[in-house]
Amino acid sequence: MNTMDIKNLFKGIPEGQGREIFETLLETEGFLLERIVSEGQATPAGKWYNQDRDEWVLLLTGSAGIVFEGNYHIYPLKPGDYLHIPAHRRHRVEWTAKNEKTIWLALHFRGQD
C-alpha cells in the first residue's frame, strides 16, 4: 500500500536571515512550482525580471507591490490575489511586507505563443 506524503505550505518555513527563500515544490519538464518566502525584500533598484517562461503567482500571506516596465503603477497584492505574468514581460517586486512573512506560490510554465 502506497502512502501519500502530505505537506503543508505554511509549515517548515525557513528563516531567511535577511534574504528571500525560493523552494522548489514540484518540477517537471513542463513546469516549475515553487514557494517563495519574502520578508521585506524587493527587486534591487534598476533590475527587472525578464523570464523565458510565463509565471502565475498567488500571494498566500503578507503583502507585496509589483511594477511592470512601461507602466510604473505599483500593483498591490494581498492574500488571495493572483497574477499571470507572460514570458518576457519585464517586472519587478517593488516591496514586500517588512513586519510579516510574505508567502508566494509561483508556477513557471511555457505559455501559448
User: Distance (Å, rounded) from C-alpha 78 to C-alpha 19?
Assistant: 21
Beta bridge partners of 59: 104
In contact, 102 and 44? CB cutoff 8 Å = no
User: Distance (Å, rounded) from C-alpha 8 to C-alpha 74?
Assistant: 31
User: Distance (Å, rounded) from C-alpha 30 to C-alpha 28?
Assistant: 5
pLDDT at 2: 66
CATH code for residues 21-36+45-109: 2.60.120.10
Task: For cell 505554511, name the residue.
Answer: 10
In contact, 68 and 84? CB cutoff 8 Å = no
In this prediction the pTM is 0.88
Cell numbers found for residue 52: 523565458
pLDDT tens track, the chain, 113 positions: 567 889 899 998 877 677 889 999 999 999 999 999 999 999 998 999 999 999 999 999 999 999 999 988 999 999 999 999 999 999 999 999 998 999 999 999 997 76
Where are the domains positioned within the chain?
21-36+45-109
